[in-house]
């Protein structure tokens, strides 16, 4: 029998993920807070009026929402999942804090017996469209294994990292490394320019070595060219993630010098009016160009 | 005709590089400050008594030495290259400062008309053995192109970055990114552990994503396992490179917050008695383990 899945949240990431599930033959029910985003799904899924209605009689409920408040509203708010009767499993692709995850998971388990799997994703819109996301899962092992075939159309990698919350911790680890690496690449490009070499040659020159990484290949050329078109991510979003890292870090007494500094650099970038430019605009602050703009 | 090359400096990197040149059919003359390192070359190269003697009638002189003082001694010291009469080209694989490079290059050009190509390498001993080094070259374009076929047996990549000194600047760029990335990986592993997840799963979970890089794949497992055997590099050497970055940065007014912080973290690691352990031992400082050791 075709698995029946409710997909709640058809944003930038959620829409292509839900579309891939429909194309893989899932019996799909979708819901979105603003109804117009459900329109493109009319021919490939049923449209539900509320999270509660969407969730009934499903094998799993998938969430892909902006933040913890949105997740809490959809799960515990009016006409939310808590009012759907008994539920099997909830897979949350949203990136929210490990702490909020554990609280929401405990409350919905009381109300519906639903098992929670936090499953934040990495890979961006291209990964969502191509079904090549990296997914880091937290939850009871049996539940994680039960949803593995259901999420298979979405990802190249689905790793069980530990109990509920462990997926969100792993996403924070991912953001520490990617957020700091982008800042380091900006610093290296600014240094190269100050020292008089053509920074546009660096991506080629350093390819395949210890300086090479996906953020280097993606952002070094954009930084060297001061090209912020077709934005890949913003300083505002990276700052939100790194501030979440620092908040989580304080709760477990983690020492985070590099992440703290990188967060302040993104904060400075935002102060220079570049919060919503592509994250490559961090180069403006490190090169001093930001001070020369009007 | 077989190219005739003098190779000066048969250390950890130089020896496998010289060996590859011999195997590629080069007419090789070698010299090393301590003579016992020339012994393994007896059947594949001629052994010279001095840099001056080695350099005579060669197509190029290759240097692979520990630091700028060693380069200066071999080039401008007694029985050095400056006393060899007219020379064609000197290719310096050593990692030394851009400033010292420019000074030494100018002085040897006066004495012998030799063209200087600074060509620091990245890729470590495995890259030297396999001939897959990444080489970043500074010098006059015609000279860089003239030596390209001679260095071909050594590298996967040989990029002309600009005038004399530009190769050394590019190597510093490489060290900014790799030195900071290793520090960031240590911080991320320490955070993961403090937050209660199994850090040994991270390499697998984050593979192929934005957190992935050669330093991540190499050092994350060693850090998670506190395994410093078979050292890949030491905090002492990384600190030397990052201090060279900071010195070069001050001369050109570059802003280097992440590199400065990473340098201080390696300095702290050295203060905890871990200067000559594998660089992965930085995890001891960020996790707090260093304070628990005897």
Which residues on A lie below 8 Å from B187 (Cβ)? Answer: 176, 180, 255-259
CA–CA min distance A254, chain B (Å): 5
**B48 and B146 belong to one structural domain:** yes
For residues B31 and B6, the answer to whether their CB atoms sit within 8 Å is yes
Nearest to B105 by CA among B154, B61, B157, B153: B61
B252 to A196: CB separation less than 8 angstroms, yes or no = yes
B181 to A211: CB separation less than 8 angstroms, yes or no = yes
**A173 and A152 belong to one structural domain:** no
Query: Could you tell me which chain A residue has the CA closest to the CA of B242?
Result: A188
Domain boundary among B109, B139, B162: B162
Query: Could you tell me which chain B residue has the CA closest to the CA of A166?
Result: B197
Running DSSP on this structure, what letter comes out for residue B2? P
Q: Any idea what the CATH number is for the domain that residue B38 is in?
A: 3.40.50.720
- Pick from B199, B211, B212, B244 the residue to mutate for testing the A interface (most A CBs within 10 Å): B211
Q: Any idea what the CATH number is for the domain that residue A210 is in?
A: 1.10.1040.10
Query: Could you tell me which chain A residue has the CA closest to the CA of B261?
Result: A258
Which residues on A lie below 8 Å from B219 (Cβ)? Answer: none
Q: Give the total number of structural domains in chain A.
A: 2
Chain A / chain B CB contacts < 8 angstroms: 238
Which residues on B lie below 8 Å from A241 (Cβ)? Answer: none
- Pick from B191, B200, B272 the residue to mutate for testing the A interface (most A CBs within 10 Å): B191
> Among all residues of A, which ones are annotated catalytic?
171
Query: Could you tell me which chain A residue has the CA closest to the CA of B187?
Result: A256
- What string of pLDDT tens digits covers the 294 residues of chain A? 799 999 999 999 999 999 999 999 999 999 999 999 999 999 999 999 999 999 999 999 999 999 999 999 999 999 999 999 999 999 999 999 999 999 999 999 999 999 999 999 998 888 999 999 999 999 999 999 999 999 999 999 999 999 999 999 999 999 999 999 999 999 999 999 999 999 999 999 999 888 999 999 999 999 999 999 888 889 999 999 999 999 999 999 999 999 999 999 999 999 999 999 999 999 999 999 998 865
Which residues on A lie below 8 Å from B135 (Cβ)? Answer: none
**B146 and B237 belong to one structural domain:** no
A213 to B213: CB separation less than 8 angstroms, yes or no = yes
Domain boundary among A106, A135, A162: A162
Q: Among residues B37, B88, B171, B292, which one is catalytic?
A: B171
Give me the mean pLDDT over the B140-153 stretch. 98
Predicted ipTM > 0.85? yes
Give me the mean pLDDT over the B32-61 stretch. 97
Smallest Cβ–Cβ distance between A256 and the set B172, B187, B211 belongs to: B187
Q: Is the pLDDT of residue B276 over 90?
A: yes
User: According to the model, what pLDDT value does residue A294 have?
Assistant: 53
Smallest Cβ–Cβ distance between B209 and the set A134, A256, A258 belongs to: A134
Which helix (H) or strand (E) element contains residue B62? Answer: strand B60-63
**A15 and A142 belong to one structural domain:** yes
**B60 and B90 belong to one structural domain:** yes
Which residues on A lie below 8 Å from B265 (Cβ)? Answer: 257-258
Instruction: Give all strands (DSSP E) within chain A, no chain letters.
Output: 4-8, 27-31, 46-47, 60-63, 89-92, 115-118, 121-122, 133-138, 155-162
**A157 and A176 belong to one structural domain:** no
**B154 and B180 belong to one structural domain:** no
B169 to A195: CB separation less than 8 angstroms, yes or no = yes
Q: How far is CA B234 from CA A130, A228, A233, B128, in A?
A: 41, 38, 35, 18
**B22 and B156 belong to one structural domain:** yes
Contacts of residue B265, defined as CB under 8 A and 6 or more positions apart, other chains included, come to: A257, A258, B183, B186, B282, B285, B286
- Give the domain range for residue B215: 169-293
User: According to the model, what pLDDT value does residue B209 have?
Assistant: 86
User: According to the model, what pLDDT value does residue B294 have?
Assistant: 53
Contacts of residue A51, defined as CB under 8 A and 6 or more positions apart, other chains included, come to: A6, A8, A31, A61, A74, A75, A79, A80, A81, A84
**B147 and B196 belong to one structural domain:** no
For residues B138 and B168, the answer to whether their CB atoms sit within 8 Å is yes
Q: What would the DSSP string read from start to end of A1-16? A: ---EEEEE--STTHHH
**A137 and A203 belong to one structural domain:** no
Q: What is the percent of chain B where pLDDT is above 90?
A: 93
A198 to B262: CB separation less than 8 angstroms, yes or no = no
Domain boundary among B132, B162, B192: B162
**B51 and B133 belong to one structural domain:** yes
pLDDT in tens, B84-104: 999 999 999 999 999 999 999
**A14 and A54 belong to one structural domain:** yes
pLDDT in tens, B58-82: 999 999 999 999 999 999 999 999 9
User: According to the model, what pLDDT value does residue B126 have?
Assistant: 87
B197 to A166: CB separation less than 8 angstroms, yes or no = yes
Running DSSP on this structure, what letter comes out for residue A37? G
Q: How many helices (H) and strands (E) does chain B have?
A: 12, 9
């Amino acid at each position: 029998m075709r698995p029946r899945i409710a997909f709640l949240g058809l944003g930038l990431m959620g829409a292509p993920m839900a579309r891939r599930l429909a194309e893989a033959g899932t019996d799909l029910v979708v819901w979105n807070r603003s109804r117009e985003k459900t329109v493109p799904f009319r021919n490939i899924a049923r449209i539900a009026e509320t999270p509660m209605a969407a969730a009934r009689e499903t094998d799993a409920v998938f969430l892909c929402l902006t933040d913890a408040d949105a997740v809490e509203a959809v799960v515990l708010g009016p006409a939310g999942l808590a009012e759907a009767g008994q539920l099997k499993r909830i897979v949350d692709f949203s990136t929210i804090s490990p702490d909020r995850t554990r609280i929401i998971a405990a409350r919905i388990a009381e109300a519906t017996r639903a098992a929670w799997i936090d499953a934040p994703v990495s890979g961006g819109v291209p990964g969502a469209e191509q079904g090549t996301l990296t997914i880091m899962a937290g939850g009871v092992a049996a539940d994680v294994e039960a949803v593995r075939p259901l999420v298979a159309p979405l990802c190249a990698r689905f790793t069980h990292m530990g109990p509920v919350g462990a997926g969100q911790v792993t996403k924070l680890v991912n953001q520490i490394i990617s957020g700091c690496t982008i800042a380091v690449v900006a610093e290296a490009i600014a240094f190269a320019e100050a020292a008089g070499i053509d920074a546009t040659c660096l991506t080629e020159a350093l390819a395949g070595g210890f300086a090479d990484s996906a953020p280097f290949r993606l952002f070094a050329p954009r930084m060297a060219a001061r090209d912020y078109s077709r934005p890949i991510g913003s300083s505002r979003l990276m700052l939100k993630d790194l501030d979440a890292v620092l908040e989580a870090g304080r709760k477990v007494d983690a020492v985070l010098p590099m992440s703290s500094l990188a967060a302040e650099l993104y904060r400075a970038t935002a102060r220079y009016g570049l919060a919503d430019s592509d994250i490559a605009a961090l180069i403006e602050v490190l090169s001093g160009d930001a001070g020369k703009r009007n």
